[in-house]
């Protein structure tokens, strides 16, 4: 196994509760933006809606993008129980929203946590930028509650294989980005068939 990588810890019983309230999901055309994984065909809207309902039955927020649903599905294949967190309401004056994580990961090995899900390419620059931008934006958002952080990340690189070099590079993320540090990084690769935690090297 490449350096800086741990196999996923066996699944524990899920805990916690899903999002509350809300009515039926709003419908929309399939994603207008290209899929973050090169060459992946976008679903028709009826497939997107049905797969969202199947993957996240307790969710009552806005319609999710295809890559977000795929991430939830892929975690489920590893026995991981997640509930997606609806976005916070917009501030009436600024039109902006408080930051929020994407999901509650109920049977995380350390107990239920809120985590951020991201989809990108299997390169260090792409993964670094995706994490750093999310952490920085949350730090600078004046609408957030004191102490709010995005600290646990699940990154899905789609069909790509994670090269050993990239595993080692992402393990050095905290050392190289001391102002935008995180606590945990997990990676889904090869269409979700691999799910591993990266060992973060914090010392200089």
191 token code pair: 């269409």
Amino acid 4: pLDDT: 47
The pLDDT tens digits of the residues spanning 75-122 come to: 999 999 999 999 888 888 888 999 999 999 999 999 999 999 999 999
Fold of the domain built from segment(s) 34-86+99-198: Trna Endonuclease; Chain: A, domain 1 (3.40.1350)
The pLDDT tens digits of the residues spanning 11-34 come to: 333 333 333 333 344 444 344 678
Q: How far apart, in Å, are the Cα atoms of 68 and each of 42, 58, 77, 95?
A: 12, 15, 15, 24
pLDDT band at 184 (very low <50, low <70, confident <90, very high): very high
125 and 102 Cβ atoms separated by less than 8 Å? no
Amino acid 194: pLDDT: 98
The pLDDT tens digits of the residues spanning 28-70 come to: 434 467 899 988 999 999 999 999 999 999 998 889 999 999 9
Helices within 19-163 (DSSP H only)? 45-55, 66-77, 124-140
pLDDT band at 203 (very low <50, low <70, confident <90, very high): low
- Residue boundaries of the structural domains of the chain: 34-86+99-198
Amino acid 61: pLDDT: 85
Amino acid 32: pLDDT: 60
127 and 176 Cβ atoms separated by less than 8 Å? no
Amino acid 18: pLDDT: 34
98 and 144 Cβ atoms separated by less than 8 Å? yes
153 token code pair: 């990340």
Amino acid 28: pLDDT: 42
| Secondary structure class of 63 (helix, strand, coil) | coil
pTM higher than the cut 0.75? yes
pLDDT at 173 over 50: yes
75 token code pair: 């975690």
Weakest mean pLDDT among 5-9, 106-110, 152-156, 166-170: 5-9
Q: Is 71 exposed, middle or buried (0-12, 13-18, 19+ CB in 10 A)?
A: buried
């Amino acid at each position: 196994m490449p350096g800086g990588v741990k196999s996923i810890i066996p699944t524990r019983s899920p805990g916690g509760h899903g999002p509350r309230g809300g009515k039926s999901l709003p419908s929309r055309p399939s994603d207008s933006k290209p899929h973050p994984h090169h060459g992946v065909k976008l679903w028709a809207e009826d497939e997107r809606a049905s797969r969202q309902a199947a993957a996240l039955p307790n969710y009552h927020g806005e319609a999710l993008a295809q890559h977000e649903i795929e991430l939830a599905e892929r975690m489920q294949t590893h026995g991981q129980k997640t509930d997606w967190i609806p976005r916070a309401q917009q501030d009436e004056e600024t039109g902006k929203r408080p930051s929020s994580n994407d999901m509650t990961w109920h049977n995380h090995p350390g107990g239920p946590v809120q985590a951020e899900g991201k989809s990108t390419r299997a390169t260090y620059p792409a993964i670094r930028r995706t994490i750093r931008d999310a952490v920085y934006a949350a730090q600078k958002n004046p609408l957030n509650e004191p102490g709010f952080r995005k600290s646990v990340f699940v990154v899905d690189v789609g069909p790509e294989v994670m090269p050993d070099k990239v595993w080692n590079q992402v393990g050095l993320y905290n050392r190289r980005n001391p102002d935008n540090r995180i606590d945990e990084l997990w990676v889904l690769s090869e269409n979700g068939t691999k799910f591993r935690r990266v060992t973060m090297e914090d010392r200089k």
